Amino acid sequence: AFDVGLQEQELTSPITVHDIDQSCFQAPPPPAASAEAIEKTVELLVRARFPLIVGGRVGYLPAATGPIRELVELLGAAYRDDRTFVCMQTIHPQNLTGSRDVLAKADVVLAIDCADVRWALGGYGKNRHAYKAKDTKRQRVIDLSQNEHASHTWNRVGGAIADTELQLLADPLTGLGQIIDGVRKRLRRDKALAGRFKRRAQAIAREKATLVKSQRRRLEARWDDNPISPGRMVAELWQAVRDKPWYLTLRNHRSWPEGAWQFDGAGQYAGHSSGGGLGHGPGASVGAAFACRDDGRFPVGIIGDGDYLMATGAVWTAVHYRVPLLMVINNNTSWYNDEEHQANIAAIRKRPPENAYIGTTTRDPDVDLAKNAESHGAVGIGPITEPGDLAPAFKRAVKVVEDGGVAVVDVRTSNL
C-alpha cells in the first residue's frame, strides 16, 4: 500500500539523478573451480578409456560451442547433448547424440551444466520412480555446474542426486576453460597421449557414420506413414527453413528424430520447459519470437496439440504485436504422455488398457486448430493429413512469416 501511494504521489520538485562512478558496481568475475578440483578432473579425463562429455543449459549461449568442441577434440572424447539442449554441431564426427550405446560405453562422464545429472546419465527406470543405479555405479561422474546454488533439497529437480565423484562448483564456461588449460598442459608433458586420443576420435567418427546411416534408415522406414510420422514432419520442416536465419523456439521432445535437423551448435534452440508442464510452448515460442524479430532471425517452433490448447492466447499476442512466427502443431489428438501413463497403470491394476484414452484425447469431435489460430488473427493451415502435403504447406507458412505474419500449421501425426 505504501508503494502504491508513493508511485501515485504528484512530484513537487525535479528528480535529481546523481552521477554514478563507473568504477563501482561492476559485476564480479564468474566463479571458478579450485586448482585441486581441476587437477583431479583432468586426471580422470586423461586416464579415461572412453570419456563422454554431456552439454546442458549452456546451450543457450552461442559462446559455449567453441570450448566444448575444443575439449571434445583435445581428448578424443565422445559427446552427446542433454535431453532438452543443443551445444554441438549435429554433423561433428564425435557427436553421438541419439546413440543408444554411448552412455553404457562411457567410464568417465563430464556433465556440463546439466540440471538433472541423473537424467543425463539415463538413471531413471521406465516408470520414472525407479533408479537404474547399476548404470551410474560403473561410471565416474564429474558435475560442472552451479546446481548447488539453485537446489537445496536432496531430491534436486527430478529425483535423487546422481552418484557424482567430482563436483566443480563453477561458472560452466569458466570451468571449461580451466579444464582445457589443464588438458593442454598434460598433452605437452606426455606426447604419447595425443596419439591415443586421435585413435579414439577416429573410432568414434566411425561410430558416428554408422549412427547417421541408422538415423536415416529409421526416417525413411516411416516416410510414407499415415498418420504422418513426427520424423517426416521435422525433416520436411527443416527443408523449408534450412536456408533461413532460423531459430528453433521449441521442438517435439520424445519423438524428436535426431539427425534430421542440422544444428551449428549452441544458441540456435531455446530449449524445453524444465518440468514438462503443458502450456509452456505457445508463450515460450512467442517470447523467443520477440527476440528473433529484433535480431532479424526466423523463429520456428514445434508444439504439441495439448500444449497448444493450454495457451492459445499467445498466438493473439504475436499477431497483435506484429511478431513473425511459424508454429507447427505436432497433433496426435492426445495428451499422449498421460494416455501412455494410464495404459501402464491399467496394466498394473489389471484394468482394461483400451480405456486409457478417456480424459486424455481430443477426438469426437476433433479440434480444428487451424481455425482456432485464425480466430486469433494468424494464418491457419491444415489439418495436414497426407505426408505429401507437408512441403507445400510449409512453403506457404514460410512465405507468411517472411511477410511479417504468424502462421500456424496443424499436422496430424502418429504418437511417436
**Of 43 and 150, the one with more pLDDT:** 43
Cis preceding linkage at 324, omega within 30: no
Max mean pLDDT range (46-50, 132-136, 249-253, 353-357) = 46-50
How many domains are there within the chain? 2
20 found inside a domain:
no
Residues in Cβ contact with 290 at an 8 Å cutoff, skipping those fewer than 6 apart: 321, 323
Whether 403 and 289 share a structural domain = yes
**Contact call for residues 106 and 79 (beta carbons, < 8 A):** no
212 found inside a domain:
no
Residue 157's pLDDT band, with cuts at 50, 70 and 90, is low
Whether 341 and 256 share a structural domain = yes
Mean of pLDDT over the chain? 91
**Contact call for residues 404 and 321 (beta carbons, < 8 A):** no
3-state secondary structure 40-90: HHHHHHHHCCCEEEEECHHHHCHHHHHHHHHHHHHHCCEEEECCCCCCCCC
Q: How many residues does the chain have?
A: 416
In 3D space, the residue among 376, 355, 400, 370 whose CA is nearest the CA of residue 312 turns out to be 376
CATH number at residue 178: 3.40.50.1220
Residue 274's pLDDT band, with cuts at 50, 70 and 90, is low
Output the nine-digit C-alpha cell for 6: 508513493
5 found inside a domain:
no
Q: Is the pLDDT score of 136 beyond 50?
A: no
Percent of the chain with pLDDT over 90: 70
Output the nine-digit C-alpha cell for 271: 530449449
Whether 186 and 330 share a structural domain = no
Q: Is the pLDDT score of 159 beyond 70?
A: no
107 found inside a domain:
yes
16 found inside a domain:
no
Average of per-residue pLDDT across 150-163: 66
Q: In angstroms, rounded to a whole number, what is the distance separating the alpha carbons of residues 47 and 43?
A: 6
Q: Is the pLDDT score of 356 beyond 80?
A: yes
Q: Pick the last residue of a domain from 149, 170, 205.
A: 205
Q: Which domain holds residue 384?
A: 230-412
Percent of the chain with pLDDT over 70: 91
pTM: 0.89
Which residue carries 598434460 as its cell?
186
Residue 346's pLDDT band, with cuts at 50, 70 and 90, is confident
Whether 199 and 265 share a structural domain = no
Whether 168 and 201 share a structural domain = yes
| Each residue's pLDDT tens digit, 277-336 | 788 999 999 999 999 998 999 999 999 999 999 999 999 999 999 999 999 999 998 877
Query: Which 3 state secondary structure label does DSSP give 132?
Result: coil
